[in-house]
Chain A
Amino acid sequence: MLLEIDVEKRLGNFVCRIDCRLEAHSCGVFGPSGSGKTTLMNLLAGLMQPDRGRISLDGEALFDRQKGINVAPEKRRIGVVFQHAYLFEHLSVRNNLLYGLKRTPRELRTIDPEHLYGTLDLEHLLDRRVTRLSGGERQRVALGRAMLASPRLILLDEPLTGLDRALKFRIIPHLRTVFSEFSIPYLFISHSHQEMRLMTENVLIIERGSVERLSSSEELARSSIFSADRGYANFLELADRHDCGNLLTYRWGKNRLTGVKNTNAPEYATFSLNARDIVLFKRHPEASSARNILEATVRATQRTEWLVRVEMDCCGSTLIAEIVPQSMEELGIRAGAKIVAVFKASALHRLT
């Protein structure tokens, strides 16, 4: 996907001026509420018309004030998944899903409905009325509906915001699988850095109606706005669940981590580990109640407002801990130093 935008739109006192060039399979759009994220989405989808400027997707102009081009929303082939699913209540789930497909010329259809139903786990819902769906099911139907129109780009406008936390993280793997399987580019609009990190690597940061900068979701999570109060969250991809009686172990890169046992623990999942839950030791602690003890090499240190952030390499995997400056001096932590990172099994929280 190559998306070039240079537009201006005035809405009352609010002026939205977006000028950027995105070249990636997926990108997040991040900003506080009222920063112009949804306006940007409306401008891209053709639901709102810019006052001036131009928008082009993969070299094809969608809007160009000077040349008088303004492609109608139904001709842009840009799908939208709104915050509330906005399913058509007079149609069944199946007919909602097929609405866009029926309006897509045969030669442009790239997605097989049966295949998609399987991936999104929709088969058992097809004959249901949309009023009988749960929040998560509605969003999955909305996503399926947008995808079946075989769009060139899908805009996801805070699709997870209305869902509760547990459900939200259960849907994210679905989303990722679907997008990678059908290779449809997407823009993921959100004000949650956690969702951002799970969904995309690149992030367009928008503030007060204009592009602040293009960044990565990892960098966004490390920036002080989010970690100042609660600490940075490490996201660990754990796999190979192994049951050891009353604990579970998982493989994390080349390491093995121990987590608390619970019912229906997944085979693999993303877990979060707060940087402030990690204790650093100079040498291997002989005995500790904490189950996870990892040898690590310090890669870099960085002062935040009151703390020091220590980036470590644990056999090739990256872990970040936050400690007070005094500890750093006493332990002699600097780039290249060998240390031991320790955290409790219960510090690992399952996300997805």
Chain B
Amino acid sequence: MFTLSNDDLTAIRLSLQVAATATLISLPPGIAAAYFLAFAKMRGKALVEGLINLPLVLPPVVVGYLLLLLLGRNGWLGGMLADFNIRIIFTLTGAVIASSVVGFPLLVRSIRIGLEGIDQHCIQAARTLGAGWWDALLTIILPLSGRAILAGMTLMFARSLGEFGATIILAGNIPGVTQTIPLAIYQYTSIPGGDRMALSLCLVSISLSFVVLLASEAVNRTMSRN
């Protein structure tokens, strides 16, 4: 009764691939953005903050459409990339970009809370002990906010697994190329007799999310024990 077709397995693989890639490539800029929001003292910070958080409140479809306008063949950035023979729309890269943009605010929000919990004096102490800025970042700031970073990555990974609206507009719904689990479910629900297949994928989706939560909880517990 519980069966998965080859296309379904590909969709699962693509989902994991997109979510993992999006989370990993967003991590360094996510940490940088969180650091900026947590520690920078400058005018216009509120504007930057609003801009980073915008995808959180905008309908994903709107985000997807704006990305399409930007990265499409006639878009401002898309046109430039086309000169280098790089195409983003209707590719897996497009799916990764869509997930990254939508999940980014969640990642930044978590890391920022972690960074704000670090006492500035600890960083100052590290500096007076001979640690340069990068050294202090790697040996004090990141380890102390490790749990927050992990929480942010979990949220973003889970969000990316479920990303639908922006992905379908920017990357389309091409089986074997850009069709992730949510897109495959969407397709099954729109064909007659696809209910069972859709349900199978729903179960996969539920188990995946559950595994992500359990794994992150386990890592979190080990980190707090050390």
Chain A residues engaging chain B, CB cutoff 8 angstroms: 45-47, 72-74, 76-80, 82, 84, 86, 88-90, 99-100, 103-104, 142, 145-146, 149
Q: How large is the interface on B (under 10, 10 to 19, 20 to 34, 35 or more residues)?
A: 10 to 19
Residues of B within 8 A of A99 (CB): 126, 129, 131, 139
List 7 extra interface pairs beyond A79-B128, A86-B125, A99-B131, CB under 8 A. Answer: A47-B128, A73-B127, A74-B128, A74-B129, A88-B140, A90-B226, A99-B139
Residues of A within 8 A of B122 (CB): 86, 88
Q: Provide the bound-state CA to CA distance between A195 and B19, in Å.
A: 59
B118-150 vs A, Cβ < 8 Å mask (1 yes, 0 no)? 010110111111111001000110011010000
Residues of B within 8 A of A84 (CB): 121
Closest chain A residue, CB of each to CB of B140:
A88
Supposing A88-B140, A89-B144, A90-B143 touch, asked if A73 and B121 sit within 8 A by C-beta, the answer is no
Residues of A within 8 A of B226 (CB): 90
What's the nearest-Cβ distance from chain A to residue B114, in Å?
12
Sampled A-B contacts (26; CB under 8 Å): A46-B127, A47-B127, A74-B130, A74-B131, A77-B130, A79-B129, A80-B124, A80-B125, A80-B128, A84-B121, A86-B119, A86-B122, A86-B124, A88-B126, A88-B144, A90-B143, A90-B226, A99-B126, A99-B129, A99-B139, A100-B129, A100-B130, A103-B131, A103-B135, A104-B130, A146-B128
Chain A CB within 10 Å, residue with most, of B126, B129, B131:
B129
Chain A CB within 10 Å, residue with most, of B119, B122, B128, B143:
B128
What's the nearest-Cβ distance from chain A to residue B120, in Å?
9
Residues of A within 8 A of B135 (CB): 74, 103
Main secondary structure of the interface of B (DSSP, over half): helix
What's the nearest-Cβ distance from chain B to residue A102, in Å?
8
Closest chain B residue, CB of each to CB of A90:
B143
Chain B residues engaging chain A, CB cutoff 8 angstroms: 119, 121-122, 124-132, 135, 139-140, 143-144, 146, 226
Q: Provide the bound-state CA to CA distance between A73 and B120, in Å.
A: 14
Task: In the A-B complex, list the 9 residue pairs whose CB atoms are closest, starting with the nearest.
Answer: A103-B130, A100-B129, A73-B127, A86-B121, A90-B143, A80-B128, A86-B125, A74-B130, A86-B122
Supposing A86-B119, A90-B143, A103-B135 touch, asked if A149 and B130 sit within 8 A by C-beta, the answer is yes
Inter-subunit contact A82/B131 (CB<8 Å): no
Residues of B within 8 A of A100 (CB): 129-130
Chain A CB within 10 Å, residue with most, of B119, B131, B143, B226:
B131
Q: Provide the bound-state CA to CA distance between A99 and B128, in Å.
A: 11
What's the nearest-Cβ distance from chain B to residue A10, in Å?
16
What's the nearest-Cβ distance from chain A to residue B80, in Å?
39
Inter-subunit contact B144/A103 (CB<8 Å): no
Q: Provide the bound-state CA to CA distance between A82 and B125, in Å.
A: 8
